[in-house]
Amino acid sequence: MTPHNPFRHPEPVAGSRPHMVRADGLCLSYSGTDAPVHALKDVDLTIEAGDFVSLIGPSGCGKTTLLRVIADLEQPTGGSITVEGVSPHEARERRLYGYVFQAPALFPWRTVLRNVTLPLEIIGLPKDEREARARDNLARVGLTGFEGKFPFQLSGGMRQRVSIARALALAPDLLLMDEPFGALDEITRHDLNQQLTDLWRETGKTCVFVTHSISEAIFLSTKVIVMTPRPGRVIDVVDCSGLPRVRTAALRDAPEFRALAARVRLGLREGHDGH
């Protein structure tokens, strides 16, 4: 398979919504102690509003780096990137995205409710309003009844659901998730995949999701971006939008699901062998 650039789409039609994320020739090198570490090289990608895009690739290929560039937490060393038509910095200032980290990063001394209201406290929303919004988002992730618990009283999967509810607090258009379910057992992970796909469909958010799991990527996504080992490049984009929009557990056994999984696997292998 030759690396190709299926993300080189035409410009949006005048008057239409801008791409949710657009990167052209994106490069990022970290200055290492001996030599620079080239984490991303010539990454072109377009993510449309309403897409669920997974980034998959070997460890160290730059998936987190790419997510952090979108979030304005790292600065690219080459190329360009926009988020909803503006710079990542402006998108961050306008609070256009929510970020879910690999580890839940909750404050242990705050209850579930007060972890989720935190971003709303920071923007100065009145107490009643922020609590009502937090309760809505906790309901969305199936945590009604747990508002008064502390993080240590929850399972790992529940903590990640609190993190997702918190990321939704400011009603962002874009949800960036860095391998949120990586540390969970498979059954819990499948349950959370189901909740997340339902949430995506019901809210119409755009999601960018980092994972190492081929089946998780296909189950959740409209597109899977397959990356090569470092420096991360896009080697394939697997279109999963032909799968039913309502995703259920049975889908994982369907022949079309397996065919997509085989293609992602091939991309990962080619990236690995060609390196």
Ligand X SMILES: Nc1ncnc2c1ncn2[C@@H]1O[C@H](COP(=O)(O)OP(=O)(O)OP(=O)(O)O)[C@@H](O)[C@H]1O
List the one residue from 63, 130, 133, 247 that touches ligand X (CB under 6 A): 63
* CA–CA gap between residue 99 and residue 180 (Å, rounded): 10
Token pair in block for residue 167: 């990321």
The answer to the question of residue 2 lying near ligand X (CB under 6 A) is no
* CA–CA gap between residue 172 and residue 15 (Å, rounded): 22
Q: Residue 112 CB, nearest distance to ligand X (Å)?
A: 27
Q: Residue 39 CB, nearest distance to ligand X (Å)?
A: 4
Q: Give whichever of 95 and 272 is closer to ligand X, judged by the CB atom.
A: 272
Candidates 60-68, 156-164, 169-177, 234-242 — which segment interacts with ligand X by CB under 6 A? 60-68
Residues between 238 and 267 with contacts to ligand X, criterion CB under 6 A: none
Hunting for tokens 């620079």 — which residue is that? 36
Q: Give whichever of 37 and 184 is closer to ligand X, judged by the CB atom.
A: 37
Q: Give whichever of 39 and 167 is closer to ligand X, judged by the CB atom.
A: 39
Q: Give whichever of 120 and 235 is closer to ligand X, judged by the CB atom.
A: 235
* CA–CA gap between residue 237 and residue 220 (Å, rounded): 15
- Write down how long the chain is: 275
* CA–CA gap between residue 5 and residue 237 (Å, rounded): 8
Token pair in block for residue 204: 């119409």
List the one residue from 1, 4, 60, 171 that touches ligand X (CB under 6 A): 60
Parallel/antiparallel/unpaired status of strands 97-100 and 174-178: parallel
Q: Give whichever of 119 and 271 is closer to ligand X, judged by the CB atom.
A: 271
Hunting for tokens 């860095």 — which residue is that? 178
Q: Does residue 231 have a cis bond before it (omega within 30 degrees)?
A: yes
The answer to the question of residue 230 lying near ligand X (CB under 6 A) is yes
Which positions touch ligand X (CB under 6 A)?
30, 32, 37, 39, 57, 59-65, 230
